[in-house]
Amino acid sequence: MTVMTRRLAAFALTLVLATGAAADEAPRVKFSTTAGDFVVEVYPDKAPKTVENFLQYVKDKHYDGTIFHRVIENFMVQGGGFDAKYIQKPTRATIAHEGREALAKGGPRNVVGTLAMARTNDPNSGSSQFFINVRDNAFLDPVVIPPGDPVPRFEYQGRVYENVARAQLVNAPQLFGYTVFGKVVSGMDVINKIKAVPTGAAGPFPTDVPKTPVVVNSATLVSK
């Protein structure tokens, strides 16, 4: 083996080890709730700003004492924003939407067990609230815009559009979708238990609130 070959082999090994290390370093957060415990794994390599934001709320103990305030059995369970008295907790500044970037880096879509950033109609309004998909919700996925300006051909919800200005598509609110930044790696049975609780009106919400509150006792960073 030549010196150059040995160097290339060593470099390749370094890359493999680095890639493996990166995969092993995905942070995990354990949620202890009144319905049981579950653990989520998050992906800073796919959605760095979203993950940093989420983990800072964990470190600040923001989620402790919050409830799952919106539960829809065939859709998702949502929490992270309200305490047990249905008072919204203060949050930091909102973050930029990273859904398309995450998909471009091979990030997960809105399928069963994935963790996504909740938001208002403004794509860049994500703060502390998150949801966990309890079914495959492809309609929540960000829409990747094809290359070109104008975009020569674009298909959406069964309709075909031709020669559309790129900015018009990039900035269309309905095409942003929701940023997926992690997934449940243990305790999915707890999520299934939460999704099945009876719901109704409570606090400021007219529907979809668990009649028996599901409270997050603590959310903490854990090692694998």
How does pLDDT run across 146-174, given as a tens digit for each residue?
A: 999 999 999 998 899 999 999 999 999 99
Fold adopted by 24-142+177-222? Cyclophilin (2.40.100)
Query: Mind giving me the DSSP string for 152-185?
Result: EEEEETTEEEEEE-HHHHHT-GGGS---EEEEEE
78-119 per-position pLDDT tens digit: 999 999 999 999 999 999 999 999 998 999 999 999 999 999
User: 30-39: per-residue pLDDT in tens?
Assistant: 999 999 999 9
pTM to 2 decimal places: 0.87
Residue 176 has pLDDT above 60, yes or no: yes
Lowest-confidence segment of 143-147, 176-180, 185-189 by average pLDDT: 143-147
- Fill in the amino acid letter for 214: V
Q: Looking at residues 64-76, what average pLDDT do you find?
A: 98
**DSSP bridge pairs for 37:** 32
Distance CA 44, CA 208 (A): 31
